[in-house]
Structure 1
Amino acid sequence: MASNSTTSGAGKTILVTGGSGFVAAEVLNAFLSRGYNVRTTVRNDSSADKIKKSHSKYINQLSFAIVKDVQIPGGHDEAVKGVDGVVHTASPFLLQVEDNERDLLLPAIKGTTEVLASVQKNAPNVKRVVITSSFASVVDVSKGNRPGYAYSEKDWNPTPYEVAAKKDAPAAVAYCASKVFAEKAAFDYVKEHKPQFEITTVCPPMVYGPSGSVVTNLDNLNTSAADIYRLMNGSCKEVPETSFYGWVDVRDVGEVHARAFESPEAAGQRYLTVSSGYTYQKICDIIRKDFPEKRNLVPEGTAPYPDVYTLDNSKVKKQLGVEFRSLETSIHDMVVQFIEIEKATGKA
């Protein structure tokens, strides 16, 4: 999916929080390819060095700000100075936690509102802040597979805060809730504080596709990449159960963030950013078909496509003119990258 323009951002500076993330790598590409200067927050210099390597062709447009903790009041005050827009991607994605409220809910909520407070106070030129949310803030997990139902932007995950914060609540429930409370806190912030900017939220489900970061170790992949690599390296003997029946390519997610920033129509909107439904069975079938040399490592399975909810992507396609990559393209490109890394690291 090509960008609208290669020079639309000339002379402007965007701040992207959490620049070393899987989605953030493609958000960086979408803005850098349009000619924006991009400042990105990282926790340390080694993260900055990795981004310099992965985005080396744009090195003259890149700069960095160290923010060790997104929740600290004023923690982004310096990072936002002089920027023309902000994309907030930084949020905890952890499923092994000791305390749901401390480790998931508060970092997601305060991490978002503190960024907005810093922008309101220190970045008068910013008219739009784009926030990476998630299908987790849309889905009602308690309704299960919900055959015949189409999720859209009007849906909100209804998990009460008290339930998510309980010590014995499953971390997956708390993670999903953290996304909805962070997103709602952002909209509430704008209503209450009436800042100089409007916000737009982007809600992707499972995010796949090749990594825009430099990957040198297949034992230490990001969550999304590891989810697919296990299906082709022999470690999965059976096709896993699918948890969320929607997916999108990471490159398309990056593009949606840039379009959401540039489009006047996107002000105050949320976008369910999804390509289509999927199952792990479909992914295994694609790998077996496209890569016969891997076929004996990929679980075969025979599961039919289950009768489950769908995700309505008509709004993002209509308002932002997005065309999404197919599952076949995304998984093929991922596996090609994995095979290249296997060869480079002697694992092939």
Structure 2
Amino acid sequence: MASINSGVGKTVLVTGGSGYVAAEVLNSFLIRGYNVKTTVRNEASAEKIKKSHAKYLDQLSFAIVKDLQLPGGHDEAVKGVDGVIHTASPFVLQVEDNARDLLEPAVNGTLEVLKSVQKNNPAVKRVVITSSFAAIIDIFQGPRPGYTYTEKDWNPTTYDVAANPSTPGGVSYCASKSFAEKAAFDYVAEHNPNFTITALNPPMVYGPSSVLFPGFDKLNTSSADIYRLINGTSSSVPETSFFGFVDVRDLAEAHVRAYESEDAAGQRYITCSGGYTYQQICDVIRAEFPGKRDVVPEGNVGEKYPDVYVVDNGKIRRELGMEFRSLKTCVVDMVEQFIEYEKA
């Protein structure tokens, strides 16, 4: 794996540093000696990051970007950095208009970062974009037994379908990831900037959080997804929608490797540990945490893994040398953190 970058003395910009994935990405760069500038929406978010990453204060700096879509909004943030890791993504709870609330923010948010880099910092040679397995999967095919998804696959949902008011928000959200990633690759092909891009495509992201604990009522989506299994609110094992997961720590490591690797230029990588079901997660929690067994849904213990699609992580293993944590390790570490939170 030829390297174009190494840490000490270099500075990377990580957009959206207060997010669940971004907080771990910060760790992966900081631990290697990089200086990290990160964008936040306000000073309060910066203060939280200072507390959660207290041992790296001398390597951290901040830039306020209130609106991802604002033209020129990242112009100042991209100055003085050697590379950019774009993890920030618009997150909308209330969707009234699929195009306005989901599709346009995803595409524009990504393009504005690339435009700012090209206009203000010719020293940047690599931009890593946190895309999603949602940009790969064909939602309308369902569990698709016997099919293997690879980086050659693209979510085929058209813009017209995704923008249609009758299309469910979840379908449009997945499509927005595809449109944003394609827009990034198209931008580079059309404008030929000094930088290359690499996209990472994680499915469901789990694992312990590096974000300052916000309270159980304000957990990020992934954490809340698992916490519901141990706090008594899930009386039955939830249905599994996406049959692929990655530990957030492995996803963060992949960002650094994608940034440092010369060979990753222009590539996309499925960043996935393997398949999973909520039944497997419940089985792990019940086996490893006897004190929680009474509140964790039992379901069909040891149930055979369903006949569903496979998510192929061979490319990132081969080209970036990635190894991945097991589902058991991911879930155990996550639940242990929840129990510490409960004690506190």
Aligned position for 2:114: 116
Contact kept in structure 2, 1:137 and 1:183, CA below 8 Å: yes
Deviations 1:195-252 (A, max 9, x none): 0000000000000000011114111100000000001111000000001000000000
Question: Which residue, 172, 191, 210 being the options, matches 2:170?
Answer: 172
Code of the residue aligned with 1:123 in structure 2: it is N
Aligned position for 1:16: 14
Aligned position for 2:229: 231
TM-score (structure 1 length as normaliser)? 0.96
Code of the residue aligned with 1:320 in structure 2: it is L
What displacement does 1:306 show? 1.3
Aligned position for 1:154: 152
Code of the residue aligned with 2:70 in structure 1: it is I
Alignment of 1:257-268 (within 5 A): 257-268=255-266
Q: Does 1:299 align with 2:307?
A: no
Aligned position for 1:316: 316
Aligned length: 340
Code of the residue aligned with 1:150 in structure 2: it is T
Question: Which residue, 201, 221, 238 being the options, matches 1:203?
Answer: 201
Contact kept in structure 2, 1:210 and 1:334, CA below 8 Å: yes
What displacement does 1:95 show? 5.1
**Distance between the aligned counterparts of 2:214 and 2:343, measured in 1?**
11
TM-score (structure 2 length as normaliser)? 0.97
Aligned position for 2:45: 47
Gaps in structure 1 of 5+ consecutive residues? none
What displacement does 1:99 show? 1.3
Deviations 1:250-288 (A, max 9, x none): 000000000000000000000000000000000000000
**Distance between the aligned counterparts of 2:61 and 2:263, measured in 1?**
29
**Distance between the aligned counterparts of 1:200 and 1:216, measured in 2?**
32
Code of the residue aligned with 2:151 in structure 1: it is E
Deviations 1:155-213 (A, max 9, x none): 00000001111122111001000000000000000000000000000000000000011
Contact kept in structure 1, 2:243 and 2:277, CA below 8 Å: yes
Deviations 1:289-329 (A, max 9, x none): 00000000000001542110010000000111111000000
The 3-state SS of whatever aligns with 1:297 is coil
Gaps in structure 2 of 5+ consecutive residues? none
**Distance between the aligned counterparts of 1:72 and 1:124, measured in 2?**
21
Deviations 1:71-119 (A, max 9, x none): 1110000000111000000112335411111111111100001100000
Deviations 1:125-183 (A, max 9, x none): 10000000000000001111100111010000000001111122111001000000000
The 3-state SS of whatever aligns with 2:48 is helix
**Distance between the aligned counterparts of 1:96 and 1:44, measured in 2?**
22
**Distance between the aligned counterparts of 2:6 and 2:208, measured in 1?**
26
**Distance between the aligned counterparts of 2:49 and 2:99, measured in 1?**
31
**Distance between the aligned counterparts of 1:157 and 1:95, measured in 2?**
22
Aligned position for 1:74: 72
**Fraction of identical pairs, as percent:** 70
Aligned position for 1:329: 329
Code of the residue aligned with 1:206 in structure 2: it is M
Runs of 4+ in 1 over 4 A off after TM superposition: none
**Distance between the aligned counterparts of 1:55 and 1:321, measured in 2?**
27
Mean Cα deviation higher: 285-294 or 210-219 = 210-219
Code of the residue aligned with 1:65 in structure 2: it is A
**Distance between the aligned counterparts of 2:315 and 2:343, measured in 1?**
42
